[in-house]
Structure 1
Amino acid sequence: MLSLERTIINRKEPMQLKKNNIKLFSYILSVKSILLIFVGVLIPFLSVACTQSVNVVHVAGKQSNDLYQILDKHNQIETILYDSPMKAAKQAAAGDALMIFADEYPAKRAELSAEFFSIVREKKLRVYLEYPSFLPDVELGKTVKADLERAVVNSSFFGGMPDSLDVLSINGLHYIPTNISESYIVAAKVAGFDKAVYGLPEKTIPVLFELPGYPVLVSTTNLSNMVRGRYAPQKAWTGVWNSILEYVLPENSFVGLEWKPEIQAAFEKTEELPTQYQMNSIEKGADWFFSSKMLVHESLEDTLEIMKDAGNWMLDWNASIPVGDGKNGVFECVFSRIDEKGSQPIGIVRRGDCNAETAMALACAGNVLKKPEYSRIAENILDFYLFESDAMKGEYGNPTHGAYGLIPWGISNFAWYRASYGDDNARFLLGALTTSALTGSDRWDNLLMKSLIALHRTTGKSGFRGSRIDVPDFEKNGWEHYYEKDTKYYSPHFEAYVWACMLWAYHKTGDQIFLERTEKAIKETMHKYPEKWQWTNGIAQEKARMLLPLAWLVRVKDTPENREMLYTVVNDLLKLQDTCGAIREELGNLEMGKYPPPQNNEAYGTAEAPLIAQNGDKVSDLLYTTNFAFLGLHEAYYATNDPKIKAAVDKLAEFLCRIQVVSEKHPEINGGWMRAFDFGRYEHWGSNADLGWGAWAIESGWTQGWIVSILALREQNTSIWDLTSNSKVKQHYKGLKKQMLTGVK
């Protein structure tokens, strides 16, 4: 026992020693670790401190300047602000960085002199300056306001970000012509989505260049107020400014510049959404009609007449513009034109479709948000257009005229009044019928039934109407000419919503005349799908528009053939849906395109155009495609009860709620949906080639009206078809048919 006990004790002693050694070793390691951590923290701190003392930038400009604000907050850059370039140059030490900003651009140039440049050369200052009043040995012309020119990178100066031929936006561009031949950035009229796809034209304007004989970068415009000017794309402009800073601070290193743009998407691509995100989006979307000043106030009427007489169709937005109550109708849009302050003007045309679609959006939003005042405004809008305005008077109100019962394109002048587009007329009806159902009012039913018959009797024997028929055409031909004509036009953009209205009219009246021609035209169009389709701004939008009549055809005749046609288009459209929910824009065969992308630089900005240059560009079009895909898929789900379609609609709804514009600085766009969204860059970007409705436009009806409405219908768990099922328009049909379709069986 003793021997065994001794053995055990003897074994404990070396174990205890080992434990003590381990404790000592651990202690030494912990001390070393603390020292290493301390050194690891201290060295970067000292490095930053040293860097901060080296990266001095002398700035001549105002404290409110965007770039100054960014530099001043940067923890590796020390800024010293002066009120004149000369003071800054005199105070700077040899080799220092100096930046001259033109804060009164475009009214006033940065004041420079020969003496200033002598100091720069003598001290070997590294300089960036913009919009100068003087440059040594360089001719400076009178300031020019750009028209269609965009900024294009013309060198490898920026290290590939941005790259050569990349396109940049300088909104509200004013530039000074010079005799400089080589420039890192030029302004030029170029076609392309984000690159000048046809290269640079012969004529280019220098925008950013190095001054010969001096360590000076010169901009012939203002680049430093890029935040308030909403220059884009964001990543490209970050690269531009990082390269300029590297030029004026060549021996130093610093973390790149960052800034928050004045307009953003409501949520990031993968950000977790709040529970009530859809309701919040509806509320903000409805509020946009007020903050954007879309509702015309009666006090503006005289001003609007003066503007129209002068050929001016854009009203500069400002906070003091009064907001109407619907009794004077609705403006068309916020235009895509962005000035140097980042503001966008109001398009003052009063269109029929936009009025009815806005009424629908406010009625839908008012219903789910429990805001009865929205519904009253919606009723006022329809009363204005159908009863108070000239829309349904004159030729359109004359029972003996061929245009009788149709709804004119617009009422702002005769060019708008004379035109009757079938698709615009149809969307007026869809908006008005939905508004009627939500408000419970039937006072517009007679006019709406009349318009349904008018659309039918101006549709040809094969069920196609064509794009538009003008008042003078009716005076020459009468309506019977178009009813008996064998028109063929495989363009869902113009035909599909007329077909949807005819199917709705058939369902309400039971009269086969609304179904027969429509069914024939739909089947013939699908037989030509998609190679023979005439597309307008892209083939994706034609697919999106075709969904609604196909869904409603299933409603009235649920056959395997009709379902197959619907699923053919649904499945092809969903091939364009990104994982984030976006519908990617797509072009068809160019020879079938009415408005293809510009085919050369000269064509840029001369006609309507897509947002993309080629298939694969990651852009959603919320004016022509995504908005109508949202409507069509929504109605297709309720027609089929297919969970696959519902999942696609859910993804699309989430995407739309994410990309809704947020901008405290710009109420005219806050809560809106712009035409273009680049879901690759995840910012509002696209080719601005369209002559009228560019990348940053917000259409009150086509875009805002439909998105708000479908989001609200989702909250009510209903469709337009079901919501309007109790319409009483049929009570007016017998008398109107006798009046308008005399002799038609």
Structure 2
Amino acid sequence: MPASSVALIGPPGPATAFAAAGLTFVRYDEPPADLAAYRAVVVLAGHYPEPARFDTSALAEYVRGGGTAYVEFAVDDGFLPAGPVRDAHIERIFTREPLTGIEPLSILDEHLSRAQEVTPPPSATELLTYGSVAGTHKAVFGPPAETFPALLDIPVGTGRLLYATTALSHHLQGRYKPVRRWTRLLQLITAELTGTDAPPDLELFTEPHVWVATGEPAKVVVRTTTQPPPATNRDVPLELVEVAPGRYESGLTVLPDGVHTFAVGEHTTTITVGPRPERYRRMIDRGIAWFDKAGMFYDAPDGSKGVAEGFSNEIGFDGTLPFRPVPRGDCYTQTAHAFRRYADLTADPRGHTIAENLMRHVVEEEQLTDRNNLYGAFEPRGARTDLTATNNLFADDGGWIALFALISGDLEAGLRGVESLIRTANTELGLQVDPWRTPSTLMVKGWDEFGRSPIEDGLDLTSHWQSSALCSYLYAYGVTGEPSYLEIAERGLDHMASHHPRARLETSRTCEAGRFLLPLAGGYFYTRKPLYLQTMLDLADYLKSRQGPDGGFAEWDGKCPPSNEAYGVDEASIFQANGDPVTDQLYGTPFAAWALPIVHQITGEPVFEELAHGVLDYLSRIQIDDPDDEQLDGTWQRAFDFDAWEYFGSNADIGWGPYCVETGWSVAPSLIAAMQYLQREPFFPEPGTNPAPVAAVRAEFESIRKGEPAPPTFRRRADGRIVRVQGGVRAVLGDLTAGGEPAWARNDPANSYEIYVRGADNHLHHTYLDDRVGQGRWQQLGDLELADDPVVAFNPGADAIEVYVLGADRRIHHCSMIDVRGGHTPWEPVGTLHFTGSPAVLYDETLGSVRLVANDTAGQDRRTRKVNRWHLPWQDYSHWITA
């Protein structure tokens, strides 16, 4: 019977995966009447992620009679293996038995799949297994203790059943990785079903891949398990020589500009040859376009609503990445700088508009300006709020934000960020203490204690945490000429460089090397210290030793799981062992690419230009090029396997795995790097002489340290947000939209200001400004509908804030704040009269009570006062004559 006589039962989508694997079939939505007419039967999961119920009576008879069938993720009345359906959270599929072309313990990533946890029949052979296994391509520690089958080979009568506990055919739609291994797996299943040999596993590519610069050589490479057919280029044969077992190469050839196609049998590959500036410009244009195409600017393409963080790592059942809307200040500022540089490159003013809007968000809404020990730091995960909701104040995020604020021209905001970082640094070494710090740690320790705190766990040598702060000090020195900024940067750089290469590794040694270059470049630019140049040259030697054939820097010495049990439970590197051909586009590649052109410009050393060309070429080659994919076209994911030539890596990181995408840290720095190369503008400014802003900002910190009072004022700005001005510094108070002007009063017993405003919803909202812990959150006070703005007064006789409003019923209503933090009495009407507006209110020290004056709807002047918790009846004072 011909191999084409295979009945495939299932929808067209999953069937595509088997068609791509070379299976020829007749597709049915429902089982055909006569299965015996077919050489094999394939039943696909048509309702994944839910299992389909299937009547297997005819199939069971077919298999018992000698037929071969493949069935996946289905339930029936007893023929198929059964077990509970569960989510495979961190488990991955790996091979148990050797399969042709796939070695035992090879990993197949399936992205949060659903599977049946079945117990295999005694006669079954377990071909694929689910388990929590550490490794990139191989399960390096062997099978874990707890597993369950993924694919079983079960003899039934004289026939054979291949049963998959999950939908293996879902690998195309679900973007399972690595793609070649999944394709090979289905080719092997096809061969088992049809009794034929699987096609030779042949891979054809050029080296370098995709593109090569004008005048630089390339070669054709074939990897195969058998002797390959001849290679041709436009029908001209190429000689292939076996240079290693299973690897065949042509000689290096310099090709003319244009697109070149090479063929080996039915396989083809292309390479483009062209000028480096054109390629980099193409990369930049596509990367910038990605922000719009992928919807990163929320609902406003001008950046006025902010920019999203990107996409999370977990690929969904439909193959899409989850949108990650977190408004990170570091992503805002890095994206702002990328668009600012793009506007300069293209003379398109839109980039400047986006940059200004994003920076306005960060400066006005994310810098902490409450007068306490958090002053000047940046809330890195959105607009500032009360202390209990403030995120960890990461020193690396704060350093990047301060640096880009300075670059953008927001000098005072940037200097506040710098001064905040200096006050959380070790005084002797100039390096950040406890860089993953909580607000409570800062509040309790205070600035002086932080400066005396020892640096533990080698964090002083970790460029992952220290480099951005050092860069911000150096840039601050450049724009102001303030020598103390250079001095503290030198202390940190001297310490780190003199101990190099000893360092604690946050993600990998390769990432640490790439991140250390920029502050060293700044230090060398301003001081010309030989130590800094020699350290950069040492880093260049290291990066060259890790550089792959396409220019990327392989990850090395990482924070990798030491066992299967440690897989997927903590932050980790995106490779497992030294030698894994994986690069990191989140923490490593973009920062090296950004720094290397700057280092070359400052030092003139050719090695840095060579490395810059290599890594920028690499970024241009691995940029995702799929116009039909709005999520990913034009961007980069975190882990790229430059041997398999696809985005793939160890999925052990609990937060930022191999498939995540970041607007900042990844996309923006990659674009900044390419524009830095093309525009060739100096990065660090020549030292200026502008001491006035430094003195003004330091005076703010000194005033806070001394506990000097700074009475605030509050007002409603045009967009309805409430703005505080305190000590000359403006701050936007939360996201409340006000319908009127705020009222406030000093609450001395609580050491705070109490602020009230009529919201756009015409309800009263309250927050506070505490002398020590700062701003509170807005809270609505009851459901009373207001017709006017509130008035407030402090009542020292009762230690209470008295609040009065005009209700929609035209009566005046009152409540008191009687608790230290926000405990308000219920609303009560003050009498039964109706008024035209809110009353005037003051505390009468002679009478020891709060007095009110209001105009009723008849135009009469009415007055009353509060005695204890009651208000006297309104009195008519319309006969009084006011001078």
Q: Residue 374 of structure 1 corresponds to which residue in structure 2?
A: 351
Q: Residue 451 of structure 1 corresponds to which residue in structure 2?
A: 417
Contact 1:184 1:209 (C-alpha < 8 Å) held by counterparts: yes
Q: What is the rounded CA distance, in whole Å, between the counterparts of 2:28 and 2:14 in structure 1?
A: 12
Q: CA deviation at 1:257?
A: 8.9
Amino acid corresponding to residue 75 of structure 2 in structure 1: S
Contact 1:85 1:112 (C-alpha < 8 Å) held by counterparts: no
Say whether residues 1:348 and 2:297 are aligned partners.
no
Greater strand proportion: 2
Q: Residue 735 of structure 1 corresponds to which residue in structure 2?
A: 696
Contact 1:288 1:669 (C-alpha < 8 Å) held by counterparts: yes
Q: Residue 73 of structure 2 corresponds to which residue in structure 1?
A: 131
Q: Residue 431 of structure 2 corresponds to which residue in structure 1?
A: 464
Amino acid corresponding to residue 458 of structure 1 in structure 2: T
Q: Residue 806 of structure 2 corresponds to which residue in structure 1?
A: none
Q: What is the rounded CA distance, in whole Å, between the counterparts of 2:18 and 2:89 in structure 1?
A: 30
Over residues 219-277 of structure 1, what are the superposed CA-to-partner deviations in whole Å (9 max), with x where a residue is unaligned? 11111132222122122122211211111111x356469999xxxx9769972344422
Q: What is the rounded CA distance, in whole Å, between the counterparts of 1:135 and 1:210 in structure 2?
A: 20
Over residues 592-628 of structure 1, what are the superposed CA-to-partner deviations in whole Å (9 max), with x where a residue is unaligned? xxxx211111111111101111111111011111111
Amino acid corresponding to residue 720 of structure 1 in structure 2: F
Q: CA RMSD in A?
A: 2.7
Q: What is the rounded CA distance, in whole Å, between the counterparts of 1:726 and 1:272 in structure 2?
A: 43
SS of the residue 2:448 aligns to:
helix
Cα distance, 1:673–1:729 mapped onto 2, change above 3 Å: farther
Q: How does 1:82-101 map to 2 (within 5 A)?
A: 82-87=28-33, 90-93=34-37, 96-101=39-44
Q: What is the rounded CA distance, in whole Å, between the counterparts of 1:347 and 1:138 in structure 2?
A: 40
Q: CA deviation at 1:658?
A: 0.4
Amino acid corresponding to residue 179 of structure 1 in structure 2: T
Q: What is the rounded CA distance, in whole Å, between the counterparts of 1:599 and 1:518 in structure 2?
A: 36
| Identity across matched positions, percent | 24
Q: What is the rounded CA distance, in whole Å, between the counterparts of 1:86 and 1:257 in structure 2?
A: 33
Contact 1:100 1:110 (C-alpha < 8 Å) held by counterparts: no
Amino acid corresponding to residue 82 of structure 1 in structure 2: Y
Q: Residue 399 of structure 2 corresponds to which residue in structure 1?
A: 426
Q: How does 1:493-508 map to 2 (within 5 A)?
A: 493-508=464-479
Q: What is the rounded CA distance, in whole Å, between the counterparts of 2:3 and 2:322 in structure 1?
A: 45
Over residues 448-504 of structure 1, what are the superposed CA-to-partner deviations in whole Å (9 max), with x where a residue is unaligned? 122122222222212111213332222212222223445362211111221121122
Contact 1:508 1:729 (C-alpha < 8 Å) held by counterparts: yes
Q: Residue 495 of structure 2 corresponds to which residue in structure 1?
A: 524
TM-score of the two chains, using structure 2 as the length reference: 0.68
Q: Residue 15 of structure 1 corresponds to which residue in structure 2?
A: none
Q: What is the rounded CA distance, in whole Å, between the counterparts of 1:109 and 1:665 in structure 2?
A: 30
SS of the residue 1:502 aligns to:
helix
Contact 1:611 1:688 (C-alpha < 8 Å) held by counterparts: yes
Contact 1:129 1:217 (C-alpha < 8 Å) held by counterparts: yes
Say whether residues 1:384 and 2:345 are aligned partners.
no
Q: Residue 229 of structure 1 corresponds to which residue in structure 2?
A: 174
Q: How does 1:633-712 map to 2 (within 5 A)?
A: 633-712=596-675
Q: What is the rounded CA distance, in whole Å, between the counterparts of 1:479 and 1:93 in structure 2?
A: 82
Higher RCO (CA-CA < 8 Å; seq separation 6+): 1
Q: What is the rounded CA distance, in whole Å, between the counterparts of 1:71 and 1:540 in structure 2?
A: 38
Quick check: which has more Rg, 1 or 2? 2
Q: 339, 358, 364: which one pairs with 2:316?
A: 339
Q: Residue 290 of structure 1 corresponds to which residue in structure 2?
A: 292
Q: Residue 103 of structure 2 corresponds to which residue in structure 1?
A: 163
Contact 1:664 1:670 (C-alpha < 8 Å) held by counterparts: yes
SS of the residue 2:151 aligns to:
strand
Greater helix proportion: 1
Unmatched segments (≥5 aa) in structure 2: 213-217, 220-270, 706-883
Q: What is the rounded CA distance, in whole Å, between the counterparts of 1:416 and 1:534 in structure 2?
A: 30
Q: How does 1:139-538 map to 2 (within 5 A)?
A: 139-156=81-98, 158-159=99-100, 161-180=101-120, 182-213=125-156, 214-250=159-195, 252-253=196-197, 255=199, 271-275=271-275, 276-297=278-299, 324-387=301-364, 389=365, 391-392=366-367, 396-398=368-370, 400-411=371-382, 417-434=390-407, 436=408, 442=409, 444-461=410-427, 462-466=429-433, 467-487=435-455, 489-531=460-502, 533-538=503-508
SS of the residue 1:556 aligns to:
helix
Q: What is the rounded CA distance, in whole Å, between the counterparts of 2:704 and 2:51 in structure 1?
A: 72
SS of the residue 1:354 aligns to:
helix
Cα distance, 1:635–1:742 mapped onto 2, change above 3 Å: farther
Q: CA deviation at 1:92?
A: 4.4
Contact 1:611 1:621 (C-alpha < 8 Å) held by counterparts: yes
Amino acid corresponding to residue 353 of structure 1 in structure 2: D
Q: What is the rounded CA distance, in whole Å, between the counterparts of 2:561 and 2:197 in structure 1?
A: 42
Q: What is the rounded CA distance, in whole Å, between the counterparts of 2:154 and 2:89 in structure 1?
A: 26
Q: CA deviation at 1:71?
A: 5.5
Contact 1:138 1:179 (C-alpha < 8 Å) held by counterparts: no
Q: What is the rounded CA distance, in whole Å, between the counterparts of 1:378 and 1:149 in structure 2?
A: 42
SS of the residue 1:662 aligns to:
coil
Contact 2:56 2:79 (C-alpha < 8 Å) held by counterparts: no
Q: Residue 801 of structure 2 corresponds to which residue in structure 1?
A: none
Q: CA deviation at 1:553?
A: 0.8
Q: How does 1:20-35 map to 2 (within 5 A)?
A: none
Over residues 12-31 of structure 1, what are the superposed CA-to-partner deviations in whole Å (9 max), with x where a residue is unaligned? xxxxxxxxxxxxxxxxxxxx
